[in-house]
């Protein structure tokens, strides 16, 4: 070790204590509170993907419009209106169901693409149409139940 010429030779070297920093207390990491089943479903409902919402709403709108037309036809027949072709309520229901299912399938096929992955091109497959079909079945059923079981007694 070399000595600094400015310091006298009689001065012993002073040992400096190592610099220690006091330990910093890290706050405990708070885990998020567990959500209940209802909170999870509500959050999923609020943050649903837009294409899926559009596909379901298209089936719902078509079902409501056609069920309203069926309800008007059904009330007219039950009040004794003489319409051409007679009582075609069963055919009308079949047309309503077929139209809602086909519309739900086609719109879902057009609106909901499959995940892209790393590519730029969005793809569609018959599975998208099947998703729309199976989503339209309960929508059609529920709208017709409301029309026939709840609304029809109000008008007759």
Mean pLDDT (whole number) for 28-39: 87
Q: How confident is the model at residue 143 (pLDDT cuts 50, 70, 90)?
A: very high
Convert the pLDDT of each residue in 73-123 to its tens digit: 999 999 888 888 888 989 999 999 999 999 999 988 888 777 666 667 777
Check residue 139 and give its pLDDT. Answer: 94
DSSP letter assigned to residue 80: T
pLDDT at 12: 63
Which pLDDT value is given to residue 3?
A: 58
- For residue 148, the 8-state DSSP code is I
Taking only the tens place, the pLDDT of each residue in 4-27 is 666 556 666 666 767 777 777 777
Sequence-distant (6+) residues with CB within 8 A of 101 are: 133, 136, 137, 140
Q: How far apart are alpha carbons 85 and 87 in whole angstroms?
A: 7
Tell me the domain boundaries of the chain: 59-114+122-155
Q: Is 75 exposed, middle or buried (0-12, 13-18, 19+ CB in 10 A)?
A: middle
pLDDT score for 126:
82
**Rounded CA gap, 113 and 9, in Å?**
85
Nearest to 111 by CA among 119, 101, 103: 103
């Amino acid at each position: 070790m070399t000595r600094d010429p400015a310091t006298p030779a009689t001065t012993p070297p002073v040992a400096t204590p190592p610099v220690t920093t006091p330990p910093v207390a890290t706050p405990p990491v708070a885990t998020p509170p567990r959500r209940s089943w209802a909170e999870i479903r509500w959050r999923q409902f609020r943050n649903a993907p837009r294409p899926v919402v559009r596909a379901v709403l298209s089936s719902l709108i078509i079902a409501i419009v056609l069920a309203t037309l069926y309800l008007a036809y059904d009330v007219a027949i039950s009040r004794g209106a003489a319409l051409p072709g007679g009582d075609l309520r069963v055919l009308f229901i079949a047309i309503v169901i077929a139209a809602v299912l086909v519309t739900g399938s086609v719109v879902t096929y057009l609106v909901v693409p499959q995940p892209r992955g790393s590519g730029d091109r969005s793809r569609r497959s018959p599975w998208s149409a099947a998703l729309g079909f199976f989503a339209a079945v309960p929508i059609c059923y529920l709208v017709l139940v409301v029309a026939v079981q709840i609304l029809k007694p109000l008008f007759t």
